[in-house]
């Protein structure tokens, strides 16, 4: 948590340096809880429109503890700091902030987490290919790969459609993709 605060303060101090490209474009939609808490991201580069008008997008969940550790390294790297400063300078709003008002510091923390997801070599505890029907406000799993109790689990079949509840990770994903 301390490393995240250091990175956040560094970001808030200046927003004028040029940025370098990140490897991915993972954007935070929220978090999970359970035996392992994790932050959930979607890859903006993977969004694909299907012939039926639905969208497909990859999501991943990375453990919060690993995120905090990686934030310390990201906050020391000038290239990463530049990328995060650029995002903040342009008025970027992370998907996690689409259903609620976040303070400037909370937005900066979300940007740090996104930079960690984009650049750190953290093994996700879950990867999901999700199909989103914007018009009907429903989603379904297409592919799920998870690491549960020391075992890798993979399901490669389309699941049932589920309505999107408000104030959830899927709701924020829907808001980000279906504007």
DSSP assignments along the chain, one per residue = -HHHHHHHHHHHH---S-----S--EEEEEEE-SSS-EEEEEEGGG-EE-TTS-EEEEEEEEEHHHHHHHHHHHTT-HHHHHHHHHHHHTT---GGGSSS---HHHHHHHHHHHHHHHHS----SEEEEEEEETTTTEEEEEEEEEEETTEEEEE-S----EE--TTSHHHHHHHHH--
Each residue's pLDDT tens digit, 75-110: 889 998 998 999 999 999 999 999 999 999 999 999
Each residue's pLDDT tens digit, 43-76: 999 999 999 999 999 999 999 999 999 998 888 8
Bridge partners of 97, per DSSP, are: none
Greatest Cα pair distance, the chain, in angstroms, is 47
pTM to 2 decimal places: 0.84
Each residue's pLDDT tens digit, 120-159: 789 999 999 999 999 999 999 999 999 888 889 999 999 9
Report the range of poorest mean pLDDT among 72-76, 115-119, 162-166. 72-76
Residue 150: the pLDDT is 83
The predicted model gives 161-176 an average pLDDT of 97
Confidence of residue 23 (pLDDT cuts 50, 70, 90): low
Residue 64: both structure tokens together: 């919060």
């Amino acid at each position: 948590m301390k490393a995240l605060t250091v990175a956040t303060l560094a970001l808030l101090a200046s927003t004028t340096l040029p940025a370098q490209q990140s490897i991915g474009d993972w954007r935070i939609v929220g978090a999970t809880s359970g035996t392992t808490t994790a932050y959930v991201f979607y890859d903006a580069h993977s969004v694909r429109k299907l012939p039926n008008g639905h969208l497909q997008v990859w999501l991943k969940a990375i453990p919060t503890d690993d995120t905090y550790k990686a934030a310390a390294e990201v906050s020391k790297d000038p290239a990463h700091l530049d990328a995060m400063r650029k995002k903040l300078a342009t008025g970027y709003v992370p998907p996690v902030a689409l259903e609620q008002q976040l303070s400037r510091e909370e937005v900066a923390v979300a940007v740090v987490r996104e930079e960690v997801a984009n650049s750190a070599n953290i093994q996700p505890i879950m990867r999901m290919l999700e199909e989103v029907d914007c018009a009907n406000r429903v989603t379904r799993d297409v592919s799920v790969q998870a690491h549960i109790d020391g075992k890798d689990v993979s399901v490669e079949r389309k699941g049932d459609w589920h309505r999107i509840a408000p104030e959830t990770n899927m709701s924020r994903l829907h808001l980000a993709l279906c504007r």
